[in-house]
Amino acid sequence: MLKPAMAIAAVLGVLPGAAAAHPAPFSYLDVHVGRAEVSGRLVVHAIDLAYELGLSSPDALADETVVGGHARAIASLLARRLTIAADGRRIEWTMTAAAPAEGQDAVDLLWRASLPAPPGQVTIDALLFPYDPVHQTFVNVYEGGVLVWQEVLNRDRTHVVFYTGTRQGRLAVVRHFTASGVHHIAIGPDHILFIVGLLLLGGTVMRLLGIVTAFTIGHSVTLALAALDVFNPPAGVVEPAIALSIVYVGADNLLSGGRGRDVRVWIALFFGLVHGFGFAGVLRETGLPREALVLSLFAFNVGVEIGQAAIVVVVAAALDLLRRRHAILARVVVTAGSVLVMVAGAYWFAERVWQTRG
């Protein structure tokens, strides 16, 4: 089922006349993505356009001669506020026609832009009328004449990314979300510290990679559940739980001391389930492409695994070198590191609980 905003956008796409007659000023944008060009239609409300052009009344834009006389100014105005990029490169779109929308308080614009190659990723940035804080732009994206994607842009959300259903689109999804997974591990101190805590007791590289892979399996499951809206606990529960998992890992290191059965794989798997809900929160902010949901989730998890593997290689090599050269110092590092992990986890737990209550 479409969300309310999406339902409105669908109505706008099917019934443009009714949309333009809506009493609240708005815009709607049709984007047709082809192999050699991107083209479409932009309908802007006469009230907004008259304000920007300095006209005394929006009724003047019902006159085709007036619209034609201001065509260059309209194109210049909107070119600064509607940016389209293909595969990260900005493309210059050209307004090919401008006329009053018949029977509507709006101006109908046609536009197009040539492409050097079939695009995999199309980015749209739009803040068409910043003077109006509640102005919205409804976006409909078409491939092969079929409506495949809808979005609503406003002052708080001006940037969206669409991935085409082509091979180039799938490759763009893989590149973007793999890099996003690596980046998230790199900038996530809580996830890094959890992994480092798991590595402090040492082991072979394969053993340590197995531990972080178990962590990946765990968070992959819950990440998918949350992304698909099957089960999605609130951040006020998830974030403190992630902090507690860090405390547990540090405490387990101190209590086990490397003696007895190594259960770190099971610890990583269990708490990976918790961390997965945290990853889902990040992806919701980034925006998962509905047209490539499974592929984007897979690529993100691959990126996370790559980031974790890099941590394993660096930390394991450093600890192994320390153990071979300074065994006593290595034990001190394990103890001190485990205490540091516990303290950091406890601090984050208190901070996150406080933020939740606030």
Confidence of residue 290 (pLDDT cuts 50, 70, 90): low
d(CA 223, CA 231): 9
Compute the average pLDDT of residues 112-128. Answer: 92
Compute the average pLDDT of residues 246-263. Answer: 79
Residue-wise pLDDT for 202-245, tens only, equals 887 788 888 888 888 998 899 888 877 788 888 888 889 999 99
Three-class SS string for the chain? CCCHHHHHHHHHHHCHHHHHCCCCCCEEEEEEECCCEEEEEEEEEHHHHHHHHCCCCHHHHHCHHHHHHCHHHHHHHHHHHEEEEECCEEECCEEEEEEECCCCCEEEEEEEEECCCCCCEEEEEECCCCCCCCCCEEEEEEECCEEEEEEEECCCCCEEEEECCCHHHHHHHHHHHHHHHHHHHHHCHHHHHHHHHHHCCCCCHHHHHHHHHHHHHHHHHHHHHHHCCCCCCCHHHHHHHHHHHHHHHHHHHHHHCCCCCCCHHHHHHHHHHHHHHHHHHHHHHHCCCHHHHHHHHHHHHHHHHHHHHHHHHHHHHHHHHHHHHCHHHHHHHHHHHHHHHHHHHHHHHHHHHHHHHC
Tokens of 92: 């210059």
Compute the average pLDDT of residues 317-344. Answer: 90
Confidence of residue 185 (pLDDT cuts 50, 70, 90): confident
The pLDDT of residue 78 is: 94
How far from chain centre, in Å, is Cα 323? 42
Whether residue 69 contacts residue 178, with contact meaning beta carbons closer than 8 Å, is answered with no
Compute the average pLDDT of residues 34-55. Answer: 93
The pLDDT of residue 61 is: 92
13: nearest Cα among 144, 159, 139 = 139
Confidence of residue 2 (pLDDT cuts 50, 70, 90): very low
Q: Is the pLDDT of residue 189 over 90?
A: no
Whether residue 45 contacts residue 138, with contact meaning beta carbons closer than 8 Å, is answered with no
The pLDDT of residue 129 is: 94
Residue-wise pLDDT for 335-344, tens only, equals 999 999 999 9
The pLDDT of residue 42 is: 95
The pLDDT of residue 237 is: 87
d(CA 29, CA 12): 10
d(CA 32, CA 30): 7
Written as one letter, the residue type at 160 is V
Compute the average pLDDT of residues 16-38. Answer: 72
Q: Is the pLDDT of residue 16 over 80?
A: no
Q: Cα–Cα distances in Å, from 205 out to 173, 210, 258, 311?
A: 31, 8, 16, 11
Compute the average pLDDT of residues 170-182. Answer: 88
Compute the average pLDDT of residues 171-183. Answer: 88
Whether residue 216 contacts residue 304, with contact meaning beta carbons closer than 8 Å, is answered with yes
Q: Is the pLDDT of residue 258 over 70?
A: no
Confidence of residue 181 (pLDDT cuts 50, 70, 90): confident
The pLDDT of residue 17 is: 39
Contacts 24+ apart (CB under 8 A), 327-333: 333/200
105: nearest Cα among 56, 154, 57 = 57
Q: Is the pLDDT of residue 30 over 90?
A: yes
130: nearest Cα among 52, 59, 24, 72 = 52
